[in-house]
Amino acid sequence: MAHGDSKRIHFVSLGCPKNRVDTEVMLGVARGQGYDIVPDADDAEVIVVNTCGFIGEAKKESIETIFELAELKKTGACTKLVVAGCLAQRYPTELAQQMSEVDHFLGSSDMLRLGEVLEGGADRVLVGNPADWIVRASDPRVLSDSRAYAYVKLAEGCNRSCAFCTIPQFRGKQRSRPADDVVREAAALAAQGVVELCLISQDTVAYGRDLPKGRASLADLVERVADTKGIAWVRLFYLYPEILDERLVDLLANHPRVVPYVDMPLQHAADAMLRRMKRGHGRERQRRVVAHLRERIPGLSFRTAFIVGHPGETDAEFEELCAFVEWARFEHVGVFRYSDEETCRSTRLEGKVPAAVAGRRYRRLMALQRRIAREKNRALVGTELPVLVEGASEEHELVMKGRHAGQAPGVDGEVYLSGGEVRPGDLVRVRVTQASDYDLVGDVLEAPRARGRRRLGLRVVS
């Protein structure tokens, strides 16, 4: 393939949506340096892998991806391999010693330093203090997927001390962005044609607590973002299970552009397990929070996550977790098998759960939730829902897909669309005709309101 004098770069983004925002900043840095961003790693002179280092499976995936792409230095066009993100932040010395194939390492707060690497002459290890940076509206950024939606980071780091979590160790303490800066970014994204904004951080409910008193509240910020011209949906992620500010609950219940969707990782439901996990609350508070949100927010979609196989988890405590899930009937649940991390308190606890037992518990809880999700999806057949169109489905380019308000991008299933001519970014009314465990099929009932045509943008492989 002839590329002339163009400089070509390829990105792989692993892990959570917060990592994806960091990758999009590096995409902006590369674009500013005159690089063409290419979807095929074989064609790229520079390859950047933004890694995850949260749990064992994520670290394994990151390492395997690095070694796989390193082979392209022998067989492809690649002359420079860059490893960035949480894994590099957590193990900079070890990785530099063991991965001679990697030319440069950037930490979890060193995204802008990719410019130094691309200019040439930079040090091999550029891993700084994680507290040195948080994304700003003025940072370069190129959206990596459908222009229908984008993630907006509200804060970086975390002040919690959960026994199983390493994130504060390599992301630092909570650092909230000024509200005005978040609103500026929201307006800039809307100007690019983004319709849905997904507000994220490690502990979103704690937004603003580290800022000067009276400077910002989460409810105030959400309302300002939702009032941004051009934005149709605002979605909240990673709320800690506290009794939420009633103003925030009111926005979730009543604001026409704040979708009734709550993402709140609960991690477990047995009192003894929550104590071992250092979660700072017990089962009854969780039940009160869930019940209160169900009562106050009409049409609520509730996403949560649980860990099975944590040290000390007994059969009885796992049964208690299953009973809680059966009671709560969450719309969406993620289940993770516990992973020992050498710097976490949980690693030092007694009562290790054998991997085979953790695997059985994982499969059983997933099967329980799959049944609940299927029942909830089937209840939607025959109803009409607004759906945000994202683009062509991966299975067939002639079939368009989208999401209703109860489905977050990438994790909650999709709506496959029949009939009607729609484009990415269109918000259309759909009648649901079929349902599976996680996805829906529906007929488009009306032509979308007129919008400028949107391209899907550049895809980050993950």
- Over residues 141-166, the pLDDT tens digits come to 998 877 789 999 999 988 888 888 88
Superfamily (CATH) of domain 7-130: Methylthiotransferase, N-terminal domain (3.40.50.12160)
> How confident is the model over 198-208, as a mean pLDDT?
93
Tell me the pLDDT band of 222, cut-offs 50, 70 and 90: very high
Task: Kindly report, as residue ranges, where domains of CATH 2.40.50.140 are found in the chain.
Answer: 384-444
Q: How many of the other CB atoms lie within 10 Å of CB of 433? A: 13
Tell me the pLDDT band of 447, cut-offs 50, 70 and 90: low
Which run of H or of E encompasses 325? helix 315-328
For 43, list phi and psi in degrees, rounded to 5: -90, -5
Order the strands of the 46-51 sheet from edge to edge.
Answer: 35-37, 7-13, 46-51, 80-85, 104-106, 125-126
Tell me the pLDDT band of 334, cut-offs 50, 70 and 90: very high
Tell me the pLDDT band of 130, cut-offs 50, 70 and 90: confident
Tell me the pLDDT band of 456, cut-offs 50, 70 and 90: very low
Residue with tokens 């949107």: 454
- Return the higher-pLDDT residue of 447 and 28: 28
Tell me the pLDDT band of 451, cut-offs 50, 70 and 90: very low
Report the CATH number of the 149-378 domain: 3.80.30.20
Weakest-pLDDT range from 1-15, 25-39, 121-135, 265-279: 1-15
- Return the higher-pLDDT residue of 53 and 258: 258
Q: How far apart are CA 30 and CA 25, in angstroms?
A: 9
Task: Kindly report, as residue ranges, where domains of CATH 3.80.30.20 are found in the chain.
Answer: 149-378
Tokens at 250, concatenated: 């009111």
With H, G, I as helix, E, B as strand and everything else as coil, classify residue 367.
helix
Task: Kindly report, as residue ranges, where domains of CATH 3.40.50.12160 are found in the chain.
Answer: 7-130
pLDDT digits (tens, 9 = 90+) for 226-251: 999 999 999 999 999 887 899 999 99
pLDDT of residue 175 exceeding 60? yes
Tokens at 36, concatenated: 């063409």
**pLDDT value at residue 218:** 94
Tokens at 13, concatenated: 């983004």
Tell me the pLDDT band of 421, cut-offs 50, 70 and 90: confident
- According to the CATH classification, is domain 384-444 in 2.40.50.140? yes
Q: How far apart are CA 323 and CA 153, in angstroms?
A: 34
Q: Where does residue 240 fall: left (phi above 0), alpha (psi -120 to 50 degrees), or beta otherwise? A: beta
Q: How far apart are CA 350 and CA 348, in angstroms?
A: 7
